[in-house]
Structure 1
Amino acid sequence: MENLSFKDLNLSNELQKAIADMGFEEATPIQSQSITHILDGKDVIGQAQTGTGKTCAFGIPAVEIINPDSDLIQVLVLCPTRELAIQSSEELKNLLKYKDGIRILPVYGGQPIDRQIMSLKKRPQIIIGTPGRVMDHMRRKTLKLENLKMVVLDEADEMLNMGFREDIDTILDKVPVERQTILFSATMSKEILDITKKYLKNPFHIKIAHKQLTVPLIEQYYLEVKESAKLEVLSRLLDTNDIKLSLVFCNTKRKVDELKASLQSRGFSAEALHGDMRQEQRDKVMSMFRKGNIDILIATDVAARGIDVDDVEAVFNYDLPSDDEYYVHRIGRTGRAGRTGKAFTFVSGREIYKLKDIQRYTKSTIKFMKPPSINDVEEKKMANILKSLKEKIAKEQIAKYVGQIEKFVEDINADSSESESAEQNFVTSLDIAAALLGLYIEETCTQTNKVSEIDDVTEFTSDGDMVRFFINIGSENKIQPKHIIESLVASSGLPGKMVGSIDIHDRYSFVEVPKEFAAEVLKSMKNYIIKGKRINIEKSTARKKSLNPHTPNRNSYSSKRKQSYSNNKHFKKDN
């Protein structure tokens, strides 16, 4: 059976609008086969795995049958866990975005029952709860189900596995006989069949086969990312992975358009593909993508069905799909024709539970990874530039520039030869090369996407009145504490004696400065050059480790030596 469009279902305008806002373009298989029958008042048995869109399969008709003018409980949904109860409650609230007068309340263990009793006094019409807590309220007579129209048993097999069979019997024996009963279960054990035979009347049986993942060559990763940081993380992943052709999936057409504009403004070659575009536009975009004329294609699930490109190197789930099978379809766009591919999925908050369901039912491993840092991006850009330079040198197309560099070096040294500090101002061709490289990086960063902090509201990590910074240079760069102090003094005007502890590691260092100088240090030291290396400085998110007082830190600059150094001739003017 072909999946139905929600526009083909006989739903209210308010519900259609809410579904569109949720980003659903068409119903999933379980929704396509069950919504109409539930709306017709039939009892339904739905055999489908978690993550196939079951919540909307019963939630859409449940919302439609509610009489908002009545304050009585009309729908009861039983779930095995409080996480599922909360998740289902939130999804149904999204469906009610444009419907007034309908209230939903999740009730579950682990939350103070007094708070739930107070909420029940607001007369919700839909209750979503775990069997134990629902029974508790029934005993207290705080939950009155005499006017119930519909009962839903969601993940019935899980409820039985958790020992809720007696609770289910107790609840169903005390609700009205003339009601509609919906049951969803991944399996149809004998015990489940006993329940359906006892409590459902002439049920319509729906079975959805669950597809398994068949793309073992795909490396799968997930990143925990706030909604506000998704664009920045996506940009960094694109910059650090040398991805030439990629697909980005969003759940809504509006987000597809917004992301396209945002990526283009950062210098990325990106185009959009979704259902609101004319066929002529879609064909043109697809042709450009197949030919490699655009690097990034941003699409909704439905619009992406016609994509059949073997060279896609990575898929990004900018939004987590609502259906496990959509996840399979999405990441299956990469790793084709025996090639390897990568899939990156962004999750936030409770979406981690959905991701676990996806991993369980696809029988695949999705590894956790941290977002690339600004330093990772800059180092990758530097590596790419140096690679291009190496290729340029190998092709021997630089001879005509050598003479100009030699003359430039001679002119600079000639101009500075009369000054008292001629020795210090002596310039080599290596200095010129480093300066040109720095200039090129500055120009390209301005023209393309400038990276920013992923979370600008992160507070400074500080000990008392000191703020700790991370710097991407260390002992491998022959860095000593005096070099860091000299740079801080020269760039920000911070008196040398006010610099706190300095911890130098192989490839990075930490330095503490007084809080009142923190903002100026962060600003003035950005892209500062120390010992010929353009550095990156960031607010440290790691707390300083306490050291054993009897074991001195060999790379820490002691306060006594700092005081001595700050009295050096280079710093007297600052004290």
Structure 2
Amino acid sequence: MENFSELNLREEVKRAVAQLGFETPTPVQAQTIPAILDSDRDLIALARTGTGKTAGFGLPVVDGIDTDVDAVQALILCPTRELCLQIARDLTEFARFRDGVNVVAVYGGASAGDQIRAIRGGAKIVVGTPGRTLDLINRKKLVVDQLKRVVLDEADEMLNMGFQEELNGILDATPKEKQTLLFSATMPKEARKISTDYMNDPQEISVDHTEAGNSNITHIYYKVKGSHRFSLLKLLVELDPDMYAVIFCRTRREVDGVAEDLRFAGHAADALHGDMSQAQRDDVMKRFRKGRIKLLVATDVAARGLDVSDLTHVINYNLPDAPEVYVHRSGRTGRAGKEGTAVSIVTGRELRKIRDIERYGKLEFSEAPIPSQEEVYKQRALRFVDSVKTAEMTDKKLMAQLPEIVSGLSELERDDLIQQFVAFSLADFSKQVGSSKPVEAGKDKPEKEKRERRGNVSYTRLCMSAGRRQGYTVPQVIGMLNKNVPGRKIDLGKIDLQNNLTFIDVDSTEAGRVVASMSGVQDRGNDVALRIYDGGAPVGNDDGPREKRPRNKYKTFSGGNPGNFKKKKHRKG
């Protein structure tokens, strides 16, 4: 299919598509739109962020609304407020020539009363986050008995965020006779269970990695020492004054720190993460879309729904643990036929992640040389010269003072005048960049050295109140720690997975930092309750003192999850 005009859409919808500048459907759109329009069969579409999924389900949803029926006819569920608002905006644009097709967004953190009034005002399509949507259904403020279509967008992410019960509650409330459309980047067992329980003989469409990959994106990485990440980031930003980028960090604390340091270095940067109020997040997103902020430092979850077609770069300040997350991130640049660059800052030991991403995404990275401070100084000096040469005097009051200015500087020779002029104009730049330590390339430590260092480490055992039954594997435990513990990587020893517990040996000098960082953390819907394990009750548990039990005997751990979990037998491996 080469053109949207070939699709079996209403003329009003085709007209909206043409005005929006859409010409050739993406592979996802070319497969999903006819499948949804030409059949009432349920659909599972596996495709990544940035492949045009919203239009893939949004155009058929808008097309299928019966304006003579005064009821909500389509419900679209998504994981975050930002994505909810983005989808609602897109569908409103698709429906611009369809009178009476009203789209309402419902989400937490905003007035439920306003959203209820908007639904009563004639909503035909509701886009919502799971929590607020189920709340309105239970309160009978959102009536779903005449739904014709339900869309689960980014189903894997909703499940990762712990919305399983909400999704079940919503789907249980909807009519059996409807079309259910599930869009997801991956198909975890929880998503497969939803398809089994709530979908009827679904057709499955999968856009493979080659089709989903964006050939407009250049993938590069810089290998540095872990402590030099920010110094390199600052050099990269200085070298490209037109950079318009999202910078991904692991933790909220790191997001705030990087954004603050970029602002101190004179750059238009701000942070976006889940600890901010909705009003703060809305303000940041508004300024970023308008270009007042050029560098948005964000966590993955906060950046869900971010759709800015002009992004020049996506920068991985830290690589994600899962290759598919990298593809989600990088897909935010190189859109609308434009060129984009995905930059990753890695240490030597993280090169294996680069290779994993290459295999998964069928893409190729190239290693870029680390820029020097001298190169950054040269580029800034040349830009300064160009800006001086093209500057115009437009202020008449200032122009009237020129004779006095010239007279005041007349005692300086030409070269001295230029030197003073440069020293004054670039003083802040010199202070910001010149104070940074030189960036050193990361090096792989020889295996022998690694083994010797590990042999001298003293370990402290921690206990986590989740294990195999909660779906954990050893790599997932490591990934959870890397994600939530800021700063340098932790030296880990043995990780012993039990049914409902996990024992983790960590460098004793880091044990306190790890426990503090994991305090209150929820992962995969679990309160992980990581504590120092002393052979009986975990140290720091709030249940009061307990009788000291002999080591290496039967253990009991209480805390985190309700009830006591007994470790009946110590097993190695």
**Which has the greater radius of gyration?**
1
TM-score (norm 1): 0.44
TM-score (norm 2): 0.44
